[in-house]
Amino acid sequence: MTNPRSSAIQYAHENSTRFLNELKEFASIPSISTDETTKAAVLQAAQWVANHLRSLGMGNIQIFPTAGHPVVYGDWLGAGNKAPIALIYGHYDVQPVDPLNLWLSEPFTPDVRGDYIYARGITDMKGQIMVALDSIEAILKTGQLPINFKFLFEGEEEIGSPNLVTFLGAHKDLLRCDIAINPDTGTLSPDIPCITYALRGLAYMELRIFGPDHDLHSGIFGGAVLNPAQELCELIAGMHDAQGRVTLPGFYDQVRSIDPEEKEELARLPIGDQYYLNATGVPALYGEAGYTTIERLGTRPTLEVNGLLSGFTGEGSKTVLPAWAMAKISTRLVPDQQPSDVYQQMQSYLEAHAPKEIRWSLITMHGGPASISDRNSIYIKALSRALETVWHKPPVFKREGGSVPIVLDFQRILGVETVNTGFSMPDDNMHSPNEKLHLPTWYRGIDTFIHFYFNLAQ
């Protein structure tokens, strides 16, 4: 009797051309969710995924309508009660294609050039969905699936998943599972396997400063009252010290520090300052003193001004002394900071520093805590061993600076952890022209998922 893993991998290799053709077919559907005019194409992509699940023998397939684009569900529970249930998450919608003139091939006519295939959505994330499904096909066609599966594919990720939380809340039982798998976070380079084990949280606020009860003439009143735009700037300036540290009282109290081992692992990441200089175009990088850029992005909280507005902002000049000034301010959080604590810290900061000559209000907006996975959990270890088997080297562990709302929603609503993975790369032009997918890594991804599923059963 042959090794079931080897059989599955052999099947995958033998069917690689057909797998690629199916990916091309999927990527030919212009399922741009941001555009009303492509609504039919988004539905067509949902139907394509549903049909593909059906062709694999998955059951209970449903296309749930939502207030926006539909959610595709399916499952396969034949591995029995003892085996875990993995919930595969994905999104079948894609970004818009503008500016179209910068594309070297038609965005919805997938084009293989060298090691890459080019198309809108090919890496974000139709290619990643097919990694998860092709590996299931390979196992099924050569033996038995070792674990149970549920599938949740949405069509609104690129517009912020406005209807997903409602859907999760309404279908908690249907979606009950042991682990969620999100292949939408990607890797770093073809050479180095990677697991994203931490995501930062968010606390978003709007600060409004009120001065005079109407816009004043800056000549007639300049010198009599405190300018709210100036005061806003002073308050914002005071939110960082000279070392780039956030000064909100208690801001760092709950920040979990990283141990030397994790620090060492982060230093191994094949992404350094030059990468960030290239990606941003800034003359020099900047951040909290005492930490590398990678450490700052993944393991340290930050406070950013997301927007400023006051007074006259058009062309030319107007000598107004504005009645009010506004800033959008958000903090990225790391374990174990809580958004509610940060809101309170900002409130305390303002109470301590806002002068009596102005009035202010702080509006708290959406937020969520950071999420971090135990790098020693059975699920992370299952993926780690799978990556090491295929790449012949252990994966690096990466913290992601952004938040992935779906991970927090799964935790909050379904009570389940998520393994974040995927085989897209930072330079895949995800939201830009000439989006591409590295085919050798994609095929390795299918092999990896075959091992991953088997490892999850152990």
Closest distance between a copy of itself and the C-beta of residue 364, in Å? 10
Closest distance between a copy of itself and the C-beta of residue 61, in Å? 34
- Residue 379: partners with Cβ closer than 8 Å, 6 or more residues away: 179, 373, 417, 419, 456
CB nearer to a copy of itself: pick between 161 and 227:
227
What residue has token string 């709007």?
206
Whether the CB-CB separation of 402 and 302 falls below 8 Å is answered with no
Which three-class secondary structure string do you get for 54-89? HHCCCEEEEEECCCCCCEEEEEECCCCCCCCEEEEE
Closest distance between a copy of itself and the C-beta of residue 130, in Å? 25
Whether the CB-CB separation of 426 and 441 falls below 8 Å is answered with no
- The burial of 381, by beta-carbon neighbours within 10 Å (0-12 exposed, 13-18 middle, 19 or more buried), is given as middle
CB nearer to a copy of itself: pick between 77 and 365:
365
Closest distance between a copy of itself and the C-beta of residue 222, in Å? 4
Q: Which of 345, 309, 303, 306 is nearest to 325 (CA)?
A: 309
CB nearer to a copy of itself: pick between 220 and 378:
220
Closest distance between a copy of itself and the C-beta of residue 279, in Å? 8
101-113 as b/e: b if 16+ CB within 10 A: eebeeebbebbee
Q: How far is CA 418 from the centre of its chain?
A: 12
CB nearer to a copy of itself: pick between 206 and 336:
206
Closest distance between a copy of itself and the C-beta of residue 434, in Å? 16
Closest distance between a copy of itself and the C-beta of residue 224, in Å? 5
Q: How far is CA 295 from the centre of its chain?
A: 18
What residue has token string 């399922």?
31
CB nearer to a copy of itself: pick between 355 and 440:
355
Tokens encoding 182: 């999100």
CB nearer to a copy of itself: pick between 246 and 446:
246
CB nearer to a copy of itself: pick between 249 and 402:
402
Return left, alpha or beta for 143; rule: phi > 0 is left, psi -120 to 50 is alpha, else beta. Answer: left
CB nearer to a copy of itself: pick between 81 and 313:
313
Closest distance between a copy of itself and the C-beta of residue 432, in Å? 10
